[in-house]
Amino acid sequence: MEIQNVILRGSFNPTVSSVQTRKARLFTKLAVPFLSEIGFPKWVSMKCDCSFHSDTKRNLQRCRNRAQKAECKGISDVEEDKPKAKIRRKNLAVFVSGGGSNFRSIHEATLNGSVHGDIVVLVTNKHDCGGAEYACCKGIPVIVFPTRKDKEDVFSAEDLVIALKSLKVDFILLAGYLKLIPAALIRAYPKAILNIHPSLLPAFGGKGYYGMKVHKAVIASGARYSGPTIHYVDEQYDTGCILAQRVVPVLAKDTAEELAARVLHEEHKLYVEVSAALCEERITWREDGVPLIQSKENPNNYR
């Protein structure tokens, strides 16, 4: 599979197969079946082999496009004596800056049926990161954001919103994305953007606390427990409403690497569980503004 490196501009219209470009800008279709049928607004897509080593280039060229168009089914009104209406599959956008292990876990869960949704696009600020390579191999379109400031065609936050809306993205999942989310995107997706952080927020969160820096700080503090937190995203780092947490003990002789591995193991499970609840519309909000997850087995129970 070969995905061409393009910059697309224009007005989105799902009923046509091309886009009228402004100022005679370039239009090219992606080699992804369900995307090639529609036109796009301006956005940036990554070429699979743009920055990888030659062996990886050859491997990626042999990758088959496994992306499938989700068959979306709307919620319909039913009578009480009929089966419960089916919830349509949700479209997910995942943001990464590195290897994307949480992204991979969620993607696998969408394929095996654990998560009632589909990852329709990956957004990354590093076009050659492991997450982008994985997405390319799986036929998932990649948007590079933010683009470098020295680029002639800068891809703005407003452009990103247009692109995600064009792909009918329902929810955005940050999975190791190290850039601050622009206000325009937060306004466009209220209560629809989640992030995972490798500590029990509000402890060890905020600007500068990411990756191994978090785990080193936890150990240095003498804290006996750590673990991942999934929270809603606002305009600051790690300050949004907490949705879910998982406790991991900090052992007496832990290194940062050992603690990180245990926390990451729980991250993979927790993010899949939360993604499933999100796609099944099992997130509710208390009157005081605290989000809760409704139990799938017993709708009267919350966590």
Given the residues 197, 215, 231, 268, the one annotated as active site: 197
In this structure, which amino acid lies at residue 8? L
SS (H, E, C) 1-40: CCCCCEEECCCCCCCCCCCCCHHHCCCCCCCCHHHHCCCC
Q: Tokens in use for 72? A: 């979306």
DSSP-based three-state secondary structure for 276: helix
Helices (H), the chain: 33-36, 54-62, 101-112, 130-137, 157-166, 183-188, 212-221, 256-279
Q: Are the C-beta atoms of 97 and 177 separated by less than 8 Å?
A: yes
Q: Give the whole-angstrom CA distance, residue 154 versus residue 125.
A: 13
Q: Tokens in use for 77? A: 């009104």
| Active site annotation includes 197 | yes
Active site residues: 197
